[in-house]
Amino acid sequence: MKQKIFMYLFVFSILLALFLYVNSKRIIEIQNKKLETYTNQLEKYKDSLATLQNDILDVSHFNLDRNEDAISYFENKGYKIDELIPLIKDELYKLNEAKGEHPIIPYASSEGRRMMINTVKLLNHKWIIADFSDGDYWGELFLTYEITDSKELKFKLVESFLYPFN
């Protein structure tokens, strides 16, 4: 009788071990497939990240924040770039508050509206690109700027265009 009990326990143990082995093998295969999928996704994301970083470098090429020569120009004159860039942008945006027509934008606005500068990008220590709109019409400006010896900021319109109204 003891022998039969040991025999049944032995067979049950073998079946249990076989079940655990098959189940573990299946779980490991599933985990390996997931790992492979995640590894492939990671490679795609790394490639996408590298592409985006290259795009950012291309886009930021003409940007005062990354132009060492322009930064050196201002630093040699005693200006702090972190304070100067917002100051230049703010001064340009303040022109939106001027009475009457905008002092820089050479186009008249539509009825009851004002042409206003929306976005400003400082290219270097002398040039600015800005876009403007009155809600119906929009365009872009190319400006030069200088800081006089008396610390006064002067803007000069070089070129502008107005997109055609559809």
pLDDT the model gives residue 59: 80
Among 89, 136, 94, CA closest to 115:
136
Q: Does 156 lie in the same domain as 105?
A: yes
Q: 28 to each of 21, 25, 68, how far by Cα in Å?
A: 10, 5, 54
Domain count for the chain: 2
Is 120 in contact with 96 (CB distance < 8 Å)?
no
Q: Do residue 72 and residue 46 come from a single domain? A: no
Whether residue 147 sits in one domain with residue 68: yes
Reading the block at residue 166, the tokens are 């559809």
Residues 81 and 116 in one domain: yes
Which letter, b or e, does each residue of 82-121 get, where b requires 16 or more Cβ atoms within 10 Å of its Cβ? Answer: eebbeebbeebeeebeeeeebebbebebeeeebbbbeebe
Residue 65 has a pLDDT of: 83
Digitized pLDDT (tens) for each residue of the chain, 166 residues in all: 788 888 888 899 999 999 999 999 999 999 999 999 999 999 999 999 999 999 988 887 888 888 888 889 989 988 888 899 999 999 999 999 988 888 999 988 877 788 899 999 999 999 999 999 988 889 999 999 999 888 889 999 999 999 987 6
Cα separations in angstroms, 39 against 26, 29, 49, 94, 164: 20, 15, 15, 52, 49
- Do 81 and 154 lie in a common domain? yes
Contacts (Cβ under 8 Å, ≥6 apart) of 156: 143, 144, 145, 146
Specify the residue for token string 């655990």. Answer: 20
Asked if residue 77 and residue 30 are part of one domain, the reply reads no
Provide the pLDDT for residue 37.
Answer: 95
Which domain, by its residues, includes 134?
Answer: 64-162
